[in-house]
Chains A and B, each alone.
Chain A
Amino acid sequence: MRRFSLTSLLSESLTGHEGWGRQWRDPQPKASYDVVIVGGGGHGLATAYYLATVHGITNVAVLEKGWIGGGNTGRNTTIIRSNYLYDESAALYEHALKLWEGLSQELNYNVMFSQRGVLMLAHNLHDVQSFKRHVYANRLNGIDNEWLSKEACKAFCPPLEISGRLRYPVLGGALQRRAGTARHDAVAWGYARGADARGVDIIQNCEVTGIRRDASGAAVGVETSRGFIGAGRVGVVAAGHTTTVMAMAGVRMPLESYPLQALVSEPVKPVFPCVVMSNAVHAYISQSDKGELVIGAGTDQYTSYSQQGGLHITTHTLDAICELFPRFTRMRMLRSWGGIVDVTPDRSPIIGKTPVPNLFVNCGWGTGGFKATPGSGHVFAHTLATGDPHAVNAPFTLDRFRTGRLIDEAAAAAVAH
């Protein structure tokens, strides 16, 4: 792997950048691998990377039916935070946040992780109570999160309107300063480049069409649009398409796939210094390095694989944005798009074993998977390498829906992820 640095960049600039090679290869699939990962999004690529770097397992293929990072990795609003309520979630997302903090250096790829702070607004007394519950729980879990008065919210985010004219006035907010955003595409590319350099085959335009099982019922490989590929273990990391892939092995999932929309404005000079989330009015906003306001909308109410949602979802989101930030009515929406998010009954992910031997699954991240990318890949790699979950993902079993040990952050706090 050619190291990226200012020096290498300057030296290439003298020769027209002709010396840069591929950031990852375009290999033909081999007949079999120790581990086959189905899904070339951030989570799948991170899994491959950590299999190679942490566990020394490099005979790995990542199969992607389109282009890597083309699903929810490249379609989300890149919010990263770890101030979750329950110990299980807090541990998982904090595990990820710690990895984010050194990720550009680890990957030698600038993923532009920007610790701009995520401010979550409280609009009613119930929100206040709920946010304080988070702040206190986070403190005891060693996670930064602080309560801000509404005036302090305004000081932290000057475009915010805190007057009583709002339909739901801002009463205060919870701020995680270590939280922030990152450049989503770069995360996929950085992991791909790092995994590839260690021998992982990243195979694009390769759709999995079946999961082959032996007489004992164990998974032994996958049928693909490019032929059968044998596998010691198969890890499915297919987000919105998980139900379809798992059904190939006869496993029925507690998942539903919903459209989730997002949009950006035209680029403007720096105007928005942080990330603001308001679950009560459904507004999620930050400004990208390029200058676009990045705005997340809600899910539609019906399941769909169309990557397209209703206009009323978008308008409702912008209602909330302009309610909180009145100066933005003259900004313009430049581009909007949709993703397919897989949602579990408790809106927490499933990471671990399945009833089928040698078949593992990492799914159900709903609307909040991007923030977990490094942590998700790290613990799923552990699970695939050892056959058992890492302590961090141990609670996130498929079995919890049978036993009733749900991890329902949203029910606990009316907090969308």
Chain B
Amino acid sequence: MLLIACPYCGNRPETEFRCGGQAHIARPADPTALDDDAWSAHLFVRANPRGIHAERWCHAHGCGRWFNALRDTVSDRFLETYPVGAQPSRSIETEARA
């Protein structure tokens, strides 16, 4: 069970959290402007990297707030957590390493 540092509450066990998948996929401002390819990519294509992954977590059974995290998907080690809307302190290598 992971130990996750909620930016608002501190370290808590994973069972208090819900993982929301890849972070930094902004919903298009005007989805109707996207063709089917672009829309399906938005909906379904994921970096799924073997390495550093920027992902979303919600402290569902705690403060209820969403935040982002960088985690190494090989070691499951968290590098950092940070608020929604912010960028991590280090560059995400997802695309390069994916």
A247, chain B: closest CB distance, angstroms:
5
Q: Does B12 contact A (CB under 8 A)?
A: no
A255 at interface, CB cutoff 8 A = yes
User: Given A301-B19, A306-B73 in contact, is the A244-B50 Cβ separation under 8 Å?
Assistant: yes
Could you say which interface size class chain A belongs to? 20 to 34
Tell me the minimal C-beta distance from A339 to chain B in angstroms: 14
Which residues on A sit within 8 Å (CB–CB) of B19?
Answer: 301-302
CB distance from A361 to the nearest CB of B (A): 14
User: Is there a chain A Cβ closer than 8 Å to B65's Cβ?
Assistant: no
Determine, out of A18-26, A135-143, A286-294, A307-315, the stretch whose residues face the partner at the interface. A307-315
Chain A residues near B64 (CB-CB < 8 A)? none
Residue A161 at the B interface, CB < 8 A?
Answer: no
Cβ proximity bits B44-72 to A, threshold 8 Å, 1 near / 0 not: 11111110010100000000000000010
Closest to B74 in A: A305
Select which of A244, A306, A311 is within 8 A of B98 by beta carbon: A244
Residues of B within 8 A of A255 (CB): 46, 48
CB contact between B50 and one of A254, A301, A305 (< 8 Å): that residue: A305
Chain A neighbourhood of B48, CB < 8 A: 243, 253, 255-257, 303
Would you call B40 and A402 a contact (CB within 8 A)?
Answer: yes
When the two chains form their complex, are residues B41 and A310 in contact, meaning their CB atoms are under 8 A apart? no
Residues of B within 8 A of A308 (CB): 76
The answer, yes or no, to whether A241 is at the interface (CB within 8 Å) is yes
Question: CB-defined interface of A241-264 with B at 8 Å, one 1/0 digit per residue?
Answer: 101100100001111110000000
Contact A312 B75 (CB under 8 A): no
- Bound CA span A304–B41, Å: 21
A345 close to B (CB within 8 Å): yes
Tell me, yes or no, whether A67 is within 8 Å of chain B by CB: no
The reply on B24 being an interface residue by CB < 8 A is: no
| B1 CB within 8 Å of chain A | yes
- In the assembled complex, which residues on chain A have CB atoms less than 8 Å from the CB atom of B47? 243
Complex contacts, B71 vs chain A, CB 8 Å:
302
Query: In the complex, A257→B53 CA distance in Å?
Result: 12
Q: Report the bound CA distance from A227 to B88 in whole Å.
A: 37
Binary per-residue interface labels of chain B (4-33) against chain A in the complex, 1 for a CB within 8 Å, 0 otherwise: 000000000011001101000000000000
| Pair B73/A312 contact, Cβ less than 8 Å | no
Also in contact, A310 and B46, with CB within 8 A (given A243-B98, A402-B36, A402-B40): no
Q: Which of B1, B49, B50, B73 contacts A310 (CB 8 A)?
A: B1
Measured in the bound complex, the distance between the Cα atoms of B74 and A310 in whole Å is 14
Tell me the complex Cα distance, A252–B44, Å: 10
Residues of A within 8 A of B49 (CB): 243-244
The reply to whether B45 and A253 form a contact with Cβ atoms under 8 Å apart is: yes
Question: Given that A301-B18, A310-B14, A402-B40 are known contacts, is A254 also in contact with B98, CB under 8 Å in the complex?
Answer: no
A401 touching B40, Cβ below 8 Å: yes
A90 to B98, CA, bound (A): 33
User: Are A302 and B46 within 8 A (Cβ)?
Assistant: no
* Complex-state Cα separation, A132 to B18, whole angstroms: 33
Within 8 A of B (CB), among A392-412: 401-403
Contact B50 A312 (CB under 8 A): no
Any A CB within 8 A of the CB of B43: yes
Would you mind naming 13 contact pairs between A and B with Cβ atoms under 8 Å apart?
Answer: A243-B48, A243-B49, A253-B45, A253-B46, A254-B45, A255-B46, A257-B48, A308-B76, A310-B1, A345-B43, A345-B44, A402-B37, A402-B40
Excluding A257-B73, A310-B14, 19 further A-B contacts by CB distance (< 8 Å) are: A243-B46, A243-B50, A244-B50, A244-B98, A247-B98, A253-B45, A253-B46, A302-B2, A302-B19, A303-B21, A303-B73, A304-B74, A306-B75, A310-B1, A310-B2, A312-B1, A344-B44, A345-B44, A402-B37
